[in-house]
């Protein structure tokens, strides 16, 4: 018996700027039912362990773990919640199966961002309470400073960042689940209001609501249950120093390390030659360029140029964020990484509809937890 792990079921609900019709539990239930039906499993009978990702301050509920079992079919079963990105959750589910103790595991992530009325107030509480927060600045300033130093060192331009927005929001037009599709020009983006210069409001992903559930299986189970298993080749995650005072502002070392870990596991030495397409964090537009370089697809300072040339366009040699990314699908808080992974699975299965890519075998999902964090995760998958 080999010890590979596959994603055999996916389901989602959303994604929309507001979802007043559903409670967060009902949102999660819709995604879970779809995922279990897709995998052909009964959660009560078949799924052995459950993982969710959630941040108490995003939910407004302390010890949010307690509020997740019933809508996932996890009552009286092994389950736990981790305060991480969706890719951390996916990696955790992957490891649970790797232990040999479980053969079917579900992972869930969601966003009810519309119910959080003071998102900037909560994000400010991610700043160091003694050293940074007393300065009383909106946490987007961290994005502005990171972008500024990144452009300064890499030679990338604001126009190139704007090009990322144009591409991703145009891609979102072909994704029925993406609420922020639009035909825009670089001028449209650059003429928008500033957020924290050089970062503009239109280069920043808007929040959206939604839930995503995935079912993971051991190789043995996957071969019985699925005709289109998507295999996990490697997973990695890493955190840089949390301090704003002493981090490397131009590069995202955490992403580089997370990728190294995943590549080592997958046996990948030439990412650009081996991997066919990627979904990377674009909570801010510059983050896509920076991440593509840290992931080893392009040299430092190259990503902006190749983006302008159309290489990362959906018809280009290396499509990036065909789903629309966070800019097109919305910033889904803790579920961002699962949204990136969702597109990888859809594409590798050949079920991505009008935005289906041809001739693809290996995809990479990347996520960043947003400001002020230096926390990233990577997962590599193949069909």
What is the rounded CA–CA span in Å between residue 195 and residue 278? 27
Q: Is 37 in the site for other proteins (CB under 8 A)?
A: no
- Which C-beta is closer to other proteins: that of 4 or that of 77? 77
CA distance 141 to 244: 11
Which of 60, 176 has the CB closer to other proteins? 60
Identify whether the C-beta of residue 275 lies closer than 8 Å to the C-beta of residue 268.
yes
- Residue 57 binds to other proteins (criterion: CB under 8 A): yes
Comparing CB distances to other proteins, the nearer of 21 and 183 is 21
Instruction: Tell whether residue 353 is a contact of other proteins (CB under 8 A).
Output: no
Spell out, one character per residue from 163 to 202, where the chain touches other proteins: x when CB under 8 A holds, - when not. ----------------------------------------
Residue 366 makes CB contacts below 8 A (sequence gap 6+) with 87, 255, 258, 259, 278, 279, 280, 281, 291, 295, 337, 340, 376, 377, 378
112 is a site residue for other proteins (CB under 8 A): yes
According to DSSP, the β-strands at 277-279 and 362-368 are: parallel
Backbone angles phi, psi at 106, to 5 degrees: -105, 145
Size of the site for other proteins (CB under 8 A): 35
- The arrangement of strands across the sheet holding 375-382 comes to 79-82, 49-53, 104-112, 209-218, 5-16, 230-239, 375-382, 362-368, 277-279
Contacts with other proteins in 15-34 (CB under 8 A)? 19-26, 29, 33
- What span, in angstroms and rounded, lies between the C-alpha atoms of 198 and 190? 10
- Least distance in Å: CB of 221 to other proteins? 19
With CB under 8 A as the contact rule, the residue among 4, 98, 133, 149 that binds other proteins is 133
Give the footprint of other proteins on residues 299-338 (CB under 8 A). none
Summarize as ranges the residues that interact with other proteins (CB under 8 A): 19-26, 29, 33, 36, 42-44, 57, 60, 69-71, 73, 75, 112, 114-118, 121-122, 124-125, 129-130, 133-134
């Amino acid at each position: 018996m080999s010890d590979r792990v596959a994603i055999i079921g996916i389901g989602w609900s959303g994604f929309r700027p507001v979802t007043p019709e559903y409670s967060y539990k009902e949102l999660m239930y819709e995604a879970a039912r779809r995922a279990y039906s897709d995998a052909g499993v009964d959660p009560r009978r078949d799924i052995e362990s459950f993982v969710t990702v959630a941040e108490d301050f995003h939910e407004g509920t302390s010890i949010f773990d307690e509020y997740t079992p019933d809508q996932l079919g996890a009552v009286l079963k092994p389950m736990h919640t981790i305060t991480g990105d969706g890719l951390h959750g996916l990696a955790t589910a992957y490891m649970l199966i790797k232990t040999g103790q479980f053969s079917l595991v579900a992972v869930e992530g969601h966003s009810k961002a519309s119910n959080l009325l003071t998102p900037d107030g909560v994000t400010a509480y991610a700043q160091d309470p003694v050293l940074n927060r007393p300065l009383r600045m909106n946490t987007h300033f961290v994005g502005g400073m990171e972008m500024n130093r990144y452009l300064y060192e890499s030679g990338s331009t604001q126009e190139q960042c704007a090009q990322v927005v144009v591409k991703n929001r145009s891609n979102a037009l072909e994704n029925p689940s993406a609420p922020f599709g639009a035909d825009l020009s670089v001028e449209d983006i650059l003429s928008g209001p500033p957020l924290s210069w050089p970062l503009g409001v239109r280069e920043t992903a808007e929040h959206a609501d939604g839930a995503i559930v995935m079912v993971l299986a051991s190789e043995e189970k996957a071969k019985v249950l699925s005709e289109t298993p998507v295999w996990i080749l490697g997973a990695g995650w890493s955190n840089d120093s949390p301090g704003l005072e002493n981090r490397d502002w131009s590069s995202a070392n955490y992403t580089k390390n997370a990728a190294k870990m995943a590549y080592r596991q997958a046996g990948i030495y030439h990412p650009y030659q081996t991997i066919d397409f990627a979904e990377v964090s674009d909570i801010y537009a510059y983050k896509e360029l920076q991440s593509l370089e840290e992931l080893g697809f392009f040299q430092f300072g190259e990503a902006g140029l190749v983006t302008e040339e159309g290489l990362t366009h959906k018809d280009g040699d290396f499509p990036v964020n065909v789903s629309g990314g966070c800019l097109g699908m919305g910033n889904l808080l803790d579920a961002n990484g699962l949204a990136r992974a969702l597109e990888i699975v859809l594409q590798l299965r050949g079920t991505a509809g009008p935005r289906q890519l041809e001739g693809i075998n290996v995809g990479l999902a990347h996520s960043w937890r947003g400001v002020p964090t230096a926390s990233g995760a990577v997962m590599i998958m193949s069909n």
